[in-house]
Amino acid sequence: MIRFLLLFLLAQALLFGIEILQPVQQAVILPWTALLASLGGWLMSFFDSDVLAQGKLIISQSSGFAVSIEPGCNGVEAMIVLLAAIIAFPAALSYKLWGLFWGFVAIQGMNLLRIVSLFYLGQWDRVWFDWAHLYIWQALIMLDALIVFLIWIRYLPRDGAIDRGQNPDVPEASI
């Protein structure tokens, strides 16, 4: 448990440190953020012809209301927390990669839902938009990462694939 916690904190410090480096921001984070805005706008265009995606902006053409998808709104932080947890937990590499893949799908799917909901909440009521934006969705995205991690542990084989060679004291997962 202590080994897991230390590795988890260390991996987070390292990954968050890498995330804020300017070359990483320019090459990965900003393009990914713009892609999310385009994807969100594209999804909304299926049921709302009023929506226009422009760079990192999603705009309502009739009301002029727009949301700007900024670094911090792109699910990367939740991915980093999940990645750190998966790195720190002893398991075979193939299982870690599967966990990451499904974590990516779950977190980014949830984040798209967040972007769509915030776009409409913002046009409806500013107070609810602020609440959802600043508090509720932050907690829900982190909860999403936690649930993916718990499900991943649940599906880890109880023997064999768990890398017990590194740490024979790892308890069997039971959720």
Partner 1 sequence: MGRPLQRFMLGVLLILPLTFGVWYLTAAYHLAPVTLLAEKTLHLIVPGALQWLKLDGHILVVASNFGADTTGQILSPPPGPDLLGFHLNPLIYSYSLPLLLALILATPGQERGQKLLWGILLLLPTEWFSMVFSVMKTLTFDVGAAFPAAAGFDAALEWMLSP
By CB under 8 A, name the binding residues for partner 1: 134-136, 138-139, 142-143, 146-147, 150-151, 154, 175
The structure tokens 């009023």 sit at 50
Minimal distance, residue 69 CB to partner 1, in Å: 18
Spatial CA neighbour of 148 closest among 70, 89, 64, 60? 89
Supply 120's token pair: 């409409």
Burial (CB count <10 Å: 0-12, 13-18, 19+), residue 171: exposed
Q: What is the nearest approach in angstroms of partner 1 to the Cβ of residue 144?
A: 10
Cα 22 from chain centroid (whole Å): 20
User: Smallest distance, Å, CB 174 to partner 1?
Assistant: 9
Sign of CA dihedral 22, 24, 27, 32: negative
Is the Cβ of residue 126 or residue 154 nearer to partner 1 in the bound state? 154
For the beta sheet containing 66-68, the strands, ordered from the edge strand earlier in sequence to the opposite edge, are: 51-54, 57-60, 66-68
CB of 42 or CB of 135, closer to partner 1: 135
Kindly report the number of other CB atoms within 10 A of residue 71's CB atom: 15
CA-CA-CA-CA dihedral for 4, 6, 11, 12, to nearest 10: 110
> Between 15 and 151, whose beta carbon lies closer to partner 1?
151
